[in-house]
Protein backbone atom coordinates (compact mmCIF):
# COMPACT_ATOMS: atom_id res chain seq x y z
CA UNK A 1 0.00 0.00 0.00
CA UNK A 2 1.23 3.51 -0.74
CA UNK A 3 0.03 7.11 -0.74
CA UNK A 4 1.01 10.76 -0.61
CA UNK A 5 1.79 12.43 2.68
CA UNK A 6 3.14 15.44 4.50
CA UNK A 7 4.99 14.84 7.74
CA UNK A 8 7.54 16.51 9.98
CA UNK A 9 10.91 14.94 9.36
CA UNK A 10 13.45 16.76 11.45
CA UNK A 11 14.96 20.11 12.20
CA UNK A 12 17.03 22.62 10.26
CA UNK A 13 20.32 23.94 11.64
CA UNK A 14 18.32 26.86 13.06
CA UNK A 15 16.01 24.52 14.95
CA UNK A 16 13.03 24.99 12.60
CA UNK A 17 10.98 21.89 11.70
CA UNK A 18 11.49 20.50 8.19
CA UNK A 19 8.45 19.10 6.46
CA UNK A 20 8.90 16.06 4.26
CA UNK A 21 6.26 15.23 1.75
CA UNK A 22 5.85 13.05 -1.29
CA UNK A 23 4.90 9.55 -2.37
CA UNK A 24 5.57 6.77 0.10
CA UNK A 25 5.16 3.04 0.62
CA UNK A 26 4.34 1.41 3.94
CA UNK A 27 7.07 -0.75 5.42
CA UNK A 28 6.28 -4.09 7.07
CA UNK A 29 6.69 -2.40 10.47
CA UNK A 30 4.08 0.24 9.57
CA UNK A 31 6.62 3.00 8.93
CA UNK A 32 6.82 4.90 5.68
CA UNK A 33 9.58 4.91 3.10
CA UNK A 34 9.49 7.97 0.88
CA UNK A 35 10.36 7.44 -2.76
CA UNK A 36 13.53 9.37 -3.50
CA UNK A 37 13.68 10.32 0.17
CA UNK A 38 10.73 12.69 -0.18
CA UNK A 39 11.13 16.37 -0.74
CA UNK A 40 12.11 18.98 1.76
CA UNK A 41 11.30 21.82 -0.62
CA UNK A 42 8.87 24.14 1.15
CA UNK A 43 5.25 23.55 0.24
CA UNK A 44 3.72 26.50 -1.55
CA UNK A 45 1.41 28.58 0.63
CA UNK A 46 -2.25 29.05 -0.06
CA UNK A 47 -2.82 31.15 -3.16
CA UNK A 48 -3.23 34.79 -2.28
CA UNK A 49 -6.12 36.40 -4.06
CA UNK A 50 -5.62 39.95 -5.28
CA UNK A 51 -9.12 40.75 -4.08
CA UNK A 52 -11.99 39.41 -2.01
CA UNK A 53 -13.05 35.77 -2.14
CA UNK A 54 -15.97 35.51 -4.58
CA UNK A 55 -18.98 33.57 -3.26
CA UNK A 56 -22.11 32.87 -5.25
CA UNK A 57 -25.43 32.44 -3.44
CA UNK A 58 -28.20 30.69 -5.34
CA UNK A 59 -30.42 27.63 -5.38
CA UNK A 60 -30.47 24.87 -7.94
CA UNK A 61 -32.61 21.81 -8.38
CA UNK A 62 -30.21 19.15 -7.13
CA UNK A 63 -27.38 20.23 -4.82
CA UNK A 64 -29.10 21.49 -1.67
CA UNK A 65 -26.27 24.00 -1.18
CA UNK A 66 -26.83 27.77 -1.21
CA UNK A 67 -23.29 29.18 -0.98
CA UNK A 68 -20.64 28.30 -3.55
CA UNK A 69 -17.94 27.24 -3.30
CA UNK A 70 -19.28 24.88 -0.66
CA UNK A 71 -16.69 25.49 2.02
CA UNK A 72 -16.89 26.64 5.62
CA UNK A 73 -17.55 30.37 5.89
CA UNK A 74 -17.03 32.45 9.02
CA UNK A 75 -20.69 33.35 9.48
CA UNK A 76 -22.86 32.79 12.51
CA UNK A 77 -24.51 29.40 12.94
CA UNK A 78 -27.91 31.10 13.13
CA UNK A 79 -27.40 32.82 9.78
CA UNK A 80 -26.17 29.60 8.14
CA UNK A 81 -29.30 27.88 9.49
CA UNK A 82 -31.41 30.56 7.77
CA UNK A 83 -29.53 30.04 4.50
CA UNK A 84 -30.03 26.26 4.82
CA UNK A 85 -33.77 26.79 5.49
CA UNK A 86 -33.98 29.06 2.42
CA UNK A 87 -32.39 26.30 0.30
CA UNK A 88 -34.71 23.70 1.86
CA UNK A 89 -37.75 25.85 0.95
CA UNK A 90 -36.59 25.78 -2.66
CA UNK A 91 -36.13 22.01 -2.56
CA UNK A 92 -39.69 21.56 -1.25
CA UNK A 93 -41.23 23.97 -3.77
CA UNK A 94 -41.70 21.22 -6.34
CA UNK A 95 -44.60 19.87 -4.27
CA UNK A 96 -46.15 23.31 -3.62
CA UNK A 97 -48.27 24.74 -6.46
CA UNK A 98 -48.57 28.06 -4.56
CA UNK A 99 -44.82 28.56 -4.16
CA UNK A 100 -43.85 32.19 -4.80
CA UNK A 101 -40.48 32.15 -6.58
CA UNK A 102 -40.25 35.93 -6.54
CA UNK A 103 -40.77 36.12 -2.76
CA UNK A 104 -38.20 33.35 -2.32
CA UNK A 105 -35.69 35.31 -4.40
CA UNK A 106 -36.24 38.51 -2.41
CA UNK A 107 -35.77 36.59 0.83
CA UNK A 108 -32.57 35.09 -0.61
CA UNK A 109 -31.35 38.54 -1.62
CA UNK A 110 -31.94 39.85 1.92
CA UNK A 111 -30.06 36.83 3.31
CA UNK A 112 -27.16 37.42 0.91
CA UNK A 113 -26.81 40.99 2.20
CA UNK A 114 -26.67 39.67 5.77
CA UNK A 115 -24.09 37.03 4.76
CA UNK A 116 -22.03 39.79 3.12
CA UNK A 117 -22.21 41.88 6.30
CA UNK A 118 -21.13 38.89 8.44
CA UNK A 119 -18.22 38.01 6.13
CA UNK A 120 -16.93 41.55 5.68
CA UNK A 121 -14.73 43.01 2.99
CA UNK A 122 -12.56 39.92 2.50
CA UNK A 123 -15.51 38.29 0.69
CA UNK A 124 -17.81 39.31 -2.15
CA UNK A 125 -21.24 37.66 -2.07
CA UNK A 126 -22.99 37.56 -5.44
CA UNK A 127 -26.69 36.69 -5.24
CA UNK A 128 -28.14 34.94 -8.28
CA UNK A 129 -31.96 35.08 -8.37
CA UNK A 130 -34.06 32.68 -10.41
CA UNK A 131 -37.10 34.83 -11.20
CA UNK A 132 -36.81 37.25 -14.13
CA UNK A 133 -38.62 39.99 -12.17
CA UNK A 134 -36.02 39.94 -9.38
CA UNK A 135 -33.15 39.65 -11.90
CA UNK A 136 -34.41 42.77 -13.68
CA UNK A 137 -34.99 44.71 -10.44
CA UNK A 138 -31.50 43.89 -9.13
CA UNK A 139 -29.92 44.81 -12.47
CA UNK A 140 -31.49 48.25 -12.19
CA UNK A 141 -29.96 48.73 -8.70
CA UNK A 142 -26.40 48.31 -9.97
- pLDDT tens track for 115-126: 999 999 988 999
Residues 57 and 25 in one domain: no
pLDDT digits (tens, 9 = 90+) for 12-58: 555 555 555 555 566 666 666 655 554 555 544 545 557 788 888 88
Structural domain for 76, as ranges:
53-141
* pLDDT at 31 (0 to 100): 64
Overall number of domains in the chain: 2
Tell me whether residue 119 is in a domain: yes
Tell me whether residue 44 is in a domain: no
Residues 74 and 18 in one domain: no
H helical segments located in the chain: 77-92, 101-119, 132-141
Residues 89 and 115 in one domain: yes
pTM greater than the 0.95 cutoff: no
Closest-CA residue to 66 (of 129, 133, 2, 141) = 129
Residues 29 and 62 in one domain: no
Alpha carbons 139 and 137: distance in angstroms, whole number: 5
Alpha carbons 19 and 9: distance in angstroms, whole number: 6
- Helix, strand, coil percentages (3-state) for the chain, rounded to 5, are 40, 25, 35
Amino acid sequence: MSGWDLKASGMTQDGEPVERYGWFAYNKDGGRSYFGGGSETPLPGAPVSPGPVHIRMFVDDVSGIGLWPAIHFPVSAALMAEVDAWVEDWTRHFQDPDFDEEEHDWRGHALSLRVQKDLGQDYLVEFRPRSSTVKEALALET
